[in-house]
A and B are shown apart, each in its own frame.
Chain A
Amino acid sequence: MISYLVNRVAQSLFVVLAMSIIVFAGLYIIGDPVQVLVSPEATPEEIMQIRQRLGLDQPLVTQYFRFVTAAASGDLGNSFVYNESAITVILRHFPATLELALTAMVISILLGIPLGVWAGLRSETWSAKTIMAASTVGASLPTFWVGLILIMCFAVYLGWLPASGRGETRSVFGVDLSILTLDGLSHILLPALNLALFKISLVIRLARAGTREIVGQEFIKFARATGQSPARVIFGHLLKNIMIPIVTVLGLEFGSVLAFSVVTERVFSWPGMGNLLVRSLFLLDRPIVVAYLMFTVVIFVVINFFVDLIYTFLDPRIRFAGKAA
């Protein structure tokens, strides 16, 4: 077990290092950030000075080693645009993204499970068939386009909900949250629903499959035979058993929700990390882009690490395979 862990940690570190080389070397090729920073009237001497100050006149390898040694101590350079530590800028935008992703997960559970259970219990009715057809279409909808349609319907034509931004936030332990104010809630509803769309389809499918499998089993029949109300059977016995695989799958999908939030944030001008990334790409704010990519890679490496760890505990075959090797 310990050798497996050590192995896995080494593998994770290797991934982070490999990604840092790819990201750094790649970004060096695109654009010259100095051209964006200086005014068009700047003299060649002034441009030279800025290059020296930012360290852009050094060879690529030297720049990379300076980057890695600094990155190891948590310093990913200063943003050219914000003129402060890139990782600070990223961390300031992270809560908004996390809040959006978590709200989307909650929405997908709250909508997906009742619909899926219904479709599983009454699989022959037209309502169940409609739900399943809708989930098939939902899985093939282009997310960003649905976001625009949501804005068009609810913000432009009906005027019920705001089209962009985070609204009023309330600070909890120094982290600003939108879900705690009414104005913030009205702002987060559309983007979270948009981001949840794909996961709702997924949860419906999982809940339906789980329900159909469990409904036929002995303990459900027994619960019914003891005269418990249908509601009690569903909430007390059925839900408890279908929740385990759903929560597992959603946990595994959390990373992809974070990644896809870039698109949703862009559509709804949500001031999160993804929006920051796309803006920084266009402004050639290299430190921010590098910091974003490294931050995301680390998040994913950590998520994958824990997923593997949980699997190792759940599935003895992986453990034994590690021992045999």
Chain B
Amino acid sequence: MSFFSSTIATLALSVLVIISLAALFAPWISPQDPYDLMQLSIMDGELPPFSEGADGLIYIAGTDDQGRDVFSAILYGLRTSLSVGLISTSIALAFGLTMGLISGYFGGWVDAVIMRIVDLQLSFPAILVAMILLAVLGRGVDKVIFALIVVQWAYYTRTIRGTALVERAKEYSEAARCLALSNVRILFVHLLPNCLPPLIVIAILQIGHAIALEAALSFLGLGVPLTEPSLGLLISNGQEYMLSGHYWLTVFPGVALLATMVAINLVGDQLRDVLNPRLRA
């Protein structure tokens, strides 16, 4: 079964690639720098989508009360949202992976301690843990990333521990131990590559969860600061204008968020099916 055998998954992957590229090249492709006050014209404030500004620029997604192009703000917001999701998931994956390998490989009291912490962590909903942390730490991109790492690592640790237990008993790792290779070398050179495939799928789906969680936290005012708004904060800022009918400030950032999450989930689901050995037969 190939990844591209599903039309929907292929479509989702291309949407995801376009979104990622748009976020990556936001400073070069967006019509204006939404956070450079010199480029904003207050005369263009609160324009509905597809209006023409004073200097001939067409605002395809409208503007906010300061004359900021919503489309540009979304591109910059995607940049923040995606990088927060990606960075936090990667660090959480690296940390969780190491803990899981150690736990599964060494067993004994090390395993018991690590797994107790994991149990404790997973018994509270992610949003609650993240809220407590951010209530304590205050808002900031680095703090959100830290909170998202804390709520994520335990998933990876639990998953990889199970795989590591199975792989440790196999002949190749016994052979590696007989050769008196160092523990570090056995863990990362021999065990890790064999434990990785199931984790990749979880990590991709987790990026989606991390982005959603960050959006919710930023919406509550606990996430990223006003100077680096993510999609969640854009939606939150647009909320107060919604009652006066300025729907574009809330709807368009939300559509961008929704498209990103649906695309990630579809790509993740398809990858899971492709990598699942039971479905491969």
Contact = CB atoms under 8 A, between A and B. Distances in A.
B209 to A, nearest CB: 9
B109 interface: no
Nearest to B138: A30
Interface residues of B, number: 38
Interface stretch (A149-157, A218-226, A235-243): A149-157
Interface string B135-173: 111100000000000000000000000000000000000
B34 to A, nearest CB: 20
A174 to B, nearest CB: 28
Interface string B215-244: 110011110000000001001000100110
A293 B127 contact: no
Contacts of B239: 148, 267
A263 B239 CA distance: 13
Nearest to B243: A156
Contacts of B128: 259, 296, 300
Interface stretch (B15-23, B44-52, B70-78, B257-265): B257-265
A149 B220 contact: no
B208 interface: yes
A27 interface: yes
Interface in A244-301: 255-256, 259-260, 262-263, 266-267, 277-278, 281-282, 289, 293, 296, 300
Interface string A32-43: 000000000000
B222 A281 contact: yes
Interface stretch (A71-79, A98-106, A135-143): A135-143
B135 A281 contact: yes
A142 B251 contact: no
Contact of B136 (A26, A136, A259, A277): A26
Nearest to A14: B120
Interface in A187-213: none
B3 interface: no
Contact of A15 (B120, B131, B254): B120
Interface residues of A, number: 39
B220 A27 contact: no
B109 to A, nearest CB: 13
A27 B134 CA distance: 10
Interface of B: 120, 123-125, 127-128, 131-133, 135-138, 208, 212, 215-216, 219-222, 232, 235, 239, 242-243, 245, 247, 250-251, 254, 257-258, 261-262, 264-266
Closest 7 CB pairs of A and B: A26-B136, A145-B254, A259-B125, A259-B128, A256-B125, A140-B261, A140-B265
Given A142-B215, A145-B258, 12 more contacts: A22-B136, A23-B136, A26-B132, A30-B135, A30-B137, A141-B258, A144-B215, A148-B239, A148-B242, A259-B131, A263-B127, A300-B128
13 contacts: A26-B133, A30-B138, A140-B261, A140-B265, A142-B254, A144-B215, A256-B127, A259-B124, A259-B127, A260-B127, A263-B220, A266-B219, A304-B123
